[in-house]
Structure 1
Amino acid sequence: MTVRGTRVDVRTADGTADAYLAHPDDDRAHPGVILYMDAFGLRPHLERMADRLAAAGYTVLVPNAYYRNGRAPVVELPEPIDPESDDTLFDRLGPLLATLTPEATERDADAYLRWLADSPLVQDGPVGLTGYCRGALLALRTAASHPDRIALAAGFHGGNLATERPDSPHLGAGRITAELYFGHADQDESLPPEQIDRLAAALTAAGVRYRAEVYAGALHGYTQADTVRYDAAADERHWEALLGLLKRVLPA
């Protein structure tokens, strides 16, 4: 299927978020998907991921979650991305990540979902979410804050999903009606086993339909082909899980 990718602007309560939009090049409406970026931001690799989803029959919006600090790319990144070779990288990313508060995430989700609802390229009805690294956290928060608009949410190598903080995203489990999937990295300091267990307990207690798998041998960031932590086998497993969930819950 031929895919068209364009840059779009989304008006939010806090300004204008630049975003990448990918969709089948057939002038028809398709189910909508929001792809939430990882900590490294909107960049060509995420655009290629959106293109692959669009080729499966979806209209995919990839917002620049750091838009409050400028249009993408907000941070200059090395090639390949290797945080261990640049000890200043997370010093630069830290203030950007700090802008993604629960309140800001909910306001932004309002805008992204409204934009999709108004687009002639998107079918009426609920949408799907997929998120990577910090994007998995954003997807979990959005599923809780907009239960009537989200059919499914998937998160891959997400971090800090079930902390002991009073605003931890797992505490919103009782509001979630979407079906969830998580592909955890088993070598991930940002999501240790106790958080995996805490997340599972919260979702189970809330009656959420979900499946969570630990990808053996996979590092945090295993889906990101422009980083040194990429794992081709784990990435392909992620695509099988994500596309399978989309096909079943939100068929194109």
Structure 2
Amino acid sequence: MGAARQNTSFPGPGPGPGSTLYGYLARPPAGTGPGVLVVQEWWGLTRHVADLTDRLAAAGFTALAPDLYGGTVTHDRAEAARMKRELPVERATAQLAAAVRYLLDDPATVGDAIGAIGLCMGGGLALRLAAQEGDRIAAVVPFYGLPDADYRYDGLTAHVLGHYGEQDASLPAEAVDEAAARIGEATGRRPEIHFYPAGHAFLNDEKTPSTYDPLQAETAWRRTLSFLRGHLG
């Protein structure tokens, strides 16, 4: 167990324990830029998530990674699985919706719609959030994550770019293809899906050498920046 990377706070979805939320916010060198939300993996708001947020800011975006676990991170799989189980999807998406409002209200954010990147657990949550928030999210990028197989994506209007590993035993290509078809039905356009000769979490350099693949990670990140610039300006 460890502490999350936090440097900002914002109003949560309601009274009680969730009335104040925390996260990691990075603004671009120019001072303003399109907004991008970064949705954590099941490990929490780790150095990897904060680093991606900083990389987005360096690329010209105003980026925010909300802390869905309230300050705790772990690198133990059993502990991560427990924390994920104890985070209801409805609570997570409500917290993310509050983060969308906070990011859009930030003076450093340009435009009336943002992008969202999600990692593993966060990939599924980012797609759910985009469907929930409609036109307030213009582009969504799931990395090796999806909602439940029967999720219908009603309300989704965002453009979708997905990154998945060919060797990811936890998420077979057939499940990704089925989700892509459902997204196409909901939006009227086929999402852009890429498969990489890599396993799960190939972007995560904190997990090296077990899963990180620097070549595939660089390719996916380059595509992500191009996609976000194309749809967020």
| Aligned with residue 243 of structure 1, among 211, 225, 228 | 225
C-alpha separation in 2, matches of 1:104 and 1:162: 16
**What TM-score do you get using the length of structure 2 for normalisation?**
0.88
Q: Is the 8 A contact 2:29 2:57 kept in 1?
A: no
Aligned 1:207-218 pairs, distance under 5 A: 207-216=188-197, 218=198
C-alpha separation in 1, matches of 2:73 and 2:49: 15
Report the counterpart of residue 19 of structure 1 in structure 2. Answer: 23
Aligned 1:44-123 pairs, distance under 5 A: 44-67=47-70, 71=71, 74-77=72-75, 89-123=76-110
C-alpha separation in 1, matches of 2:73 and 2:105: 31
Q: CA deviation at 1:209?
A: 4.6
Q: Is the 8 A contact 1:31 1:122 kept in 2?
A: yes
Report the counterpart of residue 83 of structure 1 in structure 2. Answer: none
Q: CA deviation at 1:107?
A: 1.0
| Aligned with residue 125 of structure 2, among 138, 156, 176 | 138
**What TM-score do you get using the length of structure 1 for normalisation?**
0.82
Cα–Cα, structure 1 residues 148 and 204, in superposed 2: closer, same or farther, change >3 Å? closer
Q: CA deviation at 1:191?
A: 1.3
Report the counterpart of residue 85 of structure 1 in structure 2. Answer: none
C-alpha separation in 2, matches of 1:11 and 1:149: 18
Report the counterpart of residue 160 of structure 2 in structure 1. Answer: 180
Aligned 1:134-213 pairs, distance under 5 A: 134-158=121-145, 160-163=146-149, 168=150, 170-172=151-153, 174-206=154-186, 207-213=188-194
Secondary structure of the structure 1 residue equivalent to 2:116: strand
Q: Is the 8 A contact 1:23 1:59 kept in 2?
A: yes
Report the counterpart of residue 40 of structure 2 in structure 1. Answer: 37
In structure 2, runs of 5+ residues without a counterpart are none
Q: Is the 8 A contact 1:162 1:198 kept in 2?
A: no
Secondary structure of the structure 2 residue equivalent to 1:226: helix
* Aligned-CA RMSD value: 1.8
C-alpha separation in 2, matches of 1:219 and 1:6: 29
Report the AA paired with residue 19 of structure 1.
G
Residue by residue, what CA displacement relative to the aligned partner does 1:171-190 show, whole Å, maximum 9, x if unpaired? Answer: 12x31111000011112222
C-alpha separation in 1, matches of 2:137 and 2:172: 27
Q: Is the 8 A contact 2:41 2:122 kept in 1?
A: yes
Secondary structure of the structure 2 residue equivalent to 1:126: strand
Secondary structure of the structure 1 residue equivalent to 2:7: strand
C-alpha separation in 2, matches of 1:208 and 1:40: 33
